[in-house]
Amino acid sequence: MDPNSRFLLRAFRKYYKENAVIMPDRFARREYGFMFFDRNFVQRHLGFAKPSDLQRFLIAQVPSHSYYSTAYYRTPNAATMEEKEWLGAELIFDLDADHLKNAERMTYDEMLRQIRTEMINLTDSFLMDDLGFTEEQIMITFSGGRGYHAHIKEADVLGLGTHERREIVDYITSKGLNIDWIFPYARVATSTVTINGNERVNVARNRTIPNEDAGGWKLRMRNGLKEVVNNICDMDVKDVKKEYPAIKTSQSKTVEGWQEDLRKSRDLIFTNNKMSTLKKGTQDALIKIMANDVAYRLSGEVDEPVTADVKRLIRLPGSVHGKSGLRVTPITRTELTDFDPLNMAVPKEYSDDPVTITLHRDYDISMKGQSFKLSAGTTQVPEYVAVFLVGRKIADIGDGTKEPDKFF
């Protein structure tokens, strides 16, 4: 085992000797899986009859990563999935910072703040507002790495299959959203003419707008349309085209025409819930923007394979993450608002004692209320910072000249 792994193993063992992991409900019906510092494979298909059995395993084996199944099984430690006999599964939503746009340009702390915002949106707008779950029915967990999990264990969702779970993902991510369902046409007779004794009715087709007491995607898109209308009315033409790529190739005079049209009716269309006072070209432009630009921005972020998988292994709450040393921490929705992993998920068992490390590059970080501005090369930091930096492969343990035996 290399020095970095031995250093982390020592820190993790110290943690597990003092802390019991948080056992999932019906823990004896769950499968468990682990990765280790000294092995290059996942050990899974394990079951534990008692919490104490699992705790002894963690102290003795000291895994780098610990997982449990989102599914319940009749025989969770059976060697094959068929033999386990699936009984149901939690509904899981996984958000990880590697899905964020420009994540590679963000600091670790910036990624954590952004993915926290995404989880708040997912929980508030979709899980609670649209799907109707209460805060008490949603268990949120900081993954210990760069994201969050939301667990729902209500009886109504346990039997959902992969197809139904994908449907939920599609709803949250706006995949397949029918813009004509959101803004349907209303056909209104405008005039009647008689040709060769036959009456002919001329009909206008104008878009309608969802009522303000609508729910779900209809209300979301109504509010989004209000913002679009105000932006088009108030922005310069060049900024409008930059804000909404769907119309960036439109002529500037055309956009100016939409602006003039909307300024006359910006309040009226939402009072009447109709676009009938707008020209057809203006209506078409709004619908194009809503379908191609806004729906995506209003959607939630979800890792589809995780939610759809009814036999998924997910991180065990109360365990520590092998690539950060941070605790996999359950939190409520209220706690999520101000949750700061680099202060609140650092195990207290990691000490303030100085540890010598060699950084591969300059690195700034704040942990446990302390700010560290570190330069590449050899330096000393508190043990809790060393665990994080070594786990993230930003630093090696020791000064690079000899193995730091004193840590083992």
> Which residues are identified as catalytic?
94, 96, 303
Question: DSSP state, 266?
Answer: T
Task: Compute, in degrees rounded to 10, the torsion defined by CA atoms 27, 151, 100, 289.
Answer: 160
Distance separating alpha carbons of residues 221 and 394, to the nearest angstrom: 43
Distance separating alpha carbons of residues 337 and 325, to the nearest angstrom: 22
CB contact at 8 A, 364 and 302: no
Burial degree of 322 (CB within 10 A; 0-12, 13-18, 19+): buried
Distance separating alpha carbons of residues 45 and 162, to the nearest angstrom: 21
Task: Compute, in degrees rounded to 10, the torsion defined by CA atoms 365, 368, 370, 376.
Answer: -30
3-state secondary structure of 75: coil
Alpha-helical regions (H) of 122-186: 155-158, 162-173, 179-182
Distance separating alpha carbons of residues 15 and 349, to the nearest angstrom: 6
